[in-house]
Structure 1
Amino acid sequence: MSDAIKTYDSMSELYASFGGKLEQDVGFTIHRNEELFPNFPVKSPLFRTRFYTVLILSEGRGRYLIDDRSYVTRGNIIYFTNPGHLKGFEVDETLKGYLITFSESFLKQYVRDDILDEFPFLIAEVVPPNYPDREVFQIFDNLGGMLLQEYQSDSVYKHQTIGCLMVVLLLKIKERFWKAYDPLTEAVTSSNITLTFQRNLEAHFRDLLTGKCDRLLQVQDYAQAQYLHPNYFSTVIKYKTGKSVNSWIAEKTIAEAKAMLARSSQSVQEIAARLGFKDAGHFSRFFKKHTELSPLSFRQRITSE
């Protein structure tokens, strides 16, 4: 079933799947919801995106799906969703408000490189929708209006101005919604992330040892397997297990290497290749770093014992 789920790189690509056309550049869009989906009811297929979405909705009714959760869509609501999650939506009556999409690269280009440190919810799992009172909602609605005005302008400072306004929007999200939500302690899937990682780690080494794979997977590979940002994935694993992802990978690699050195007659070069190392010298340095012995010294000690 997952093979049939489309992943979209941009809002324009997603909208094209509905038969529409959007102009988009530099990883940012903002449009009025009533212009995007003037006809209803609308029910989307399940999909994934590689961009962030902020929905500022003043009126409307429908439903929004994120992974295995379903949220009611109504007036005075603010959604924030991250890349990678399985999504879908239903529109029962005209939605009024703003739909904002942007990429991580846009923020890093027009705000700053360490943007994820300032706004940790950009790498979290799922931030629940917020239903603020009218006064608070109006702040976000006004920001949506300013972003749209700048997006439609011909200013030579257009993208820089949008970047500044996005900082204000993200600060307001952080101020109003984020304090009460800690994804490490409240997200029901955080334990499943750890369990899935451990299973994926075991499965990967089985593939390595049976010749089905010839590359040692890294942090970003395991994060991508669960459609998570590598920073958030690493934080969850460290929080839940007390060990970093790299420590898990290293310990598993050393354990398998020791077993092969002790129980097989394969050369160090053959063992290195089997474990996904392209260079035997790299494998030897890695092994010595973690055991204080070279692979040959370890094998000789085991043999003598």
Structure 2
Amino acid sequence: MQQKEAISKDLADLYKLMGLPLDSVQRKSGFTIHALTETFKDLPFKSIAYRPDYFSFVFLKDARGSYVIDEMSFVVNPGTIYFTNPGNYRSFEWTEIRDAYLITFNESFLKTNVQSNVFEDFSFLLTETVQPKQLPPEQFAEIELLYQLIYKEHLGDSPYKNKIIGNLFVALLLKIKEYFWQDYNPIQEGSRNSSIVKAFKQNLEAHYRALGSTKENVLLRVQDYADLQHLHANYLSTVIKTKTGKTVSTWIAEKTIGEAKSLLKNSKDSIKEISFLLGFAEPGHFSSYFKKHTQLTPIAYRKQNLAR
């Protein structure tokens, strides 16, 4: 199969791109579960490279293959569970599949059917690169019981299907947390090895350097920073808040106010010139923004520092 990079909005998009059957993939709920034997009938199979906007768990009771996330390659064998989330380019290859299941889900499904603050209790869902884990048979059996119950409910027609799946999914997440991530600390990952956080901070600094040198003249918004990493804005916001303790908007505001204070104290530029330099279309908008975050107008702040 010819390799190419693709951005897949959901699993159905990805399967369609690769010419795979879509019978087992439902698009409406933001949740899918199916046996991989239903999809991959001709093996070996090698996927295209793609970047999904969904989370996924793969449960390999009896299957072999490998997958690549960015530059890292992982081999998966029977008894393995692996997890991926939005943001990274990846590809996979299957050589044998006798018993394996895939679950995919998006943030909307989690917040609607699991719990609205799901990332507080299950912050490991934001882990960016996770090595597959091969569990002892007794532990895998506990996980298997849960995903099989979810699969059975998914095939049913109960009017409460999504809520039942959501509750079973909580149990599944708790078991996975017990066996994988009891000690996971998102703040620690954010300060040490979160590529999303690092890229966001680099983009933030680069943007304000570009503003300062007049190479750019518009303030970037949350969506703009998400676009720079090919991420959904909600997902970027969740990762940054969880791993740094501050929202993207707070990071932007603190950087903007910091730059504004420096210019007001150290330059002779007018308020109008400073507002345009920082990407504000109107000086009045800049003054309102500055006062909102400092309780002082730019003029008052400048006078206060001149007096000192």
Counterpart check, 1:179 vs 2:179: no
Matches within 5 A, 1:231-250: 231-237=238-244, 248-250=251-253
Partner of 2:19: 19
1:212 aligns with 2:210: no
The CA distance in 2 between the partners of 1:27 and 1:245, in whole Å, is 25
Residues 48-101 of structure 1: CA deviation (Å, up to 9, x unaligned):
111110101111211111233221111001111111122111112235211010
The residue that corresponds to 2:286 in the other structure is 283
Structure 1 residues 185 and 237: alpha-carbon distance in aligned structure 2, compared to 1, 3 A threshold: closer
Q: Among residues 135, 140, 150, which one is paired with 2:138 in the alignment?
A: 135
Aligned partners of 1:37 and 1:76: how far apart in 2?
Answer: 19
Q: Secondary structure at the match of 2:206?
A: helix
Matched-pair contact (CA < 8 Å) for 1:197–1:222: yes
Displacement of 1:213 after TM fit?
4.3
Q: CA deviation at 1:144?
A: 2.2
CA distance in 2, matches of 1:20, 1:115: 32
CA pair 296-99 structure 1, distance change in 2 beyond 3 A: same
Kept in 1, the 8 Å contact 2:80–2:133? The answer is: yes
Structure 2 distance, partners of 1:289, 1:65, is 46
SS in 1 for 2:19: coil
Written as runs of structure 1 = structure 2, the 5 A alignment for 1:92-131 is: 92-94=95-97, 96-131=99-134
Task: Provide Cα deviations, 1:142-183, integer angstroms capped at 9, x if missing partner.
Answer: 222222211111222221211111111111111121115445
Q: 1:202 aligns with which of 194, 201, 205?
A: 205
- Contact 1:55-1:98 within 8 A present in 2 as well: yes
Q: Distance in 2 between matches of 1:174 and 1:94?
A: 26
Residue matched to 2:72: 69
Give secondary structure in 2 for the equivalent of 1:126.
coil
Aligned with residue 93 of structure 2, among 90, 94, 100:
90
> Does structure 2 conserve the Cα–Cα contact (< 8 Å) formed by 1:59 and 1:95?
yes
- Change in Cα spacing, 1:174 to 1:195, as seen in structure 2 (3 Å) is closer
Q: TM-score, normalised by structure 2?
A: 0.82
Greater shift in the superposed pair: 293-302 or 5-14: 293-302
Contact 1:216 1:275 in 2 (8 A): no
CA distance in 2, matches of 1:127, 1:256: 37
- TM-score, normalised to structure 1, is 0.83
Q: Who is 1:190 aligned against?
A: 193
- Counting aligned pairs with the same residue, the percent is 42
TM-fit CA distance, 1:300: 4.6
Q: Which moved more, 1:60-69 or 1:186-195?
A: 186-195
Quick one: structure 1 residues 71 and 247, their matched pair in 2 at CA, closer, same or farther if it must change by over 3 Å? same
Change (3 A) 1:32 1:291: closer
Pairs aligned (count): 296
**How much is the aligned-residue C-alpha RMSD, in angstroms?**
3.0
Choose which of 55, 58, 75 in structure 2 pairs with 1:55.
58
CA offset at residue 6 of structure 1?
1.9
Distance 1:236 1:68, change over 3 A: farther
Distance 1:193 1:98, change over 3 A: closer
Structure 1's unaligned 5+ residue stretches are none
Task: Classify 1:149/1:190 alpha carbon distance in 2 versus 1 (closer, same or farther; 3 Å).
Answer: same
Matching residue's letter, 2:50? F
For the 8 Å contact 1:216–1:277, the answer to whether it is kept is no
Contact 1:81 1:126 in 2 (8 A): yes
SS of 1:204's equivalent in the other structure is helix
**Alpha-carbon distance in 1 for matches of 2:116, 2:128:** 21
Aligned residue for 2:151?
Answer: 148
Change (3 A) 1:12 1:301: same
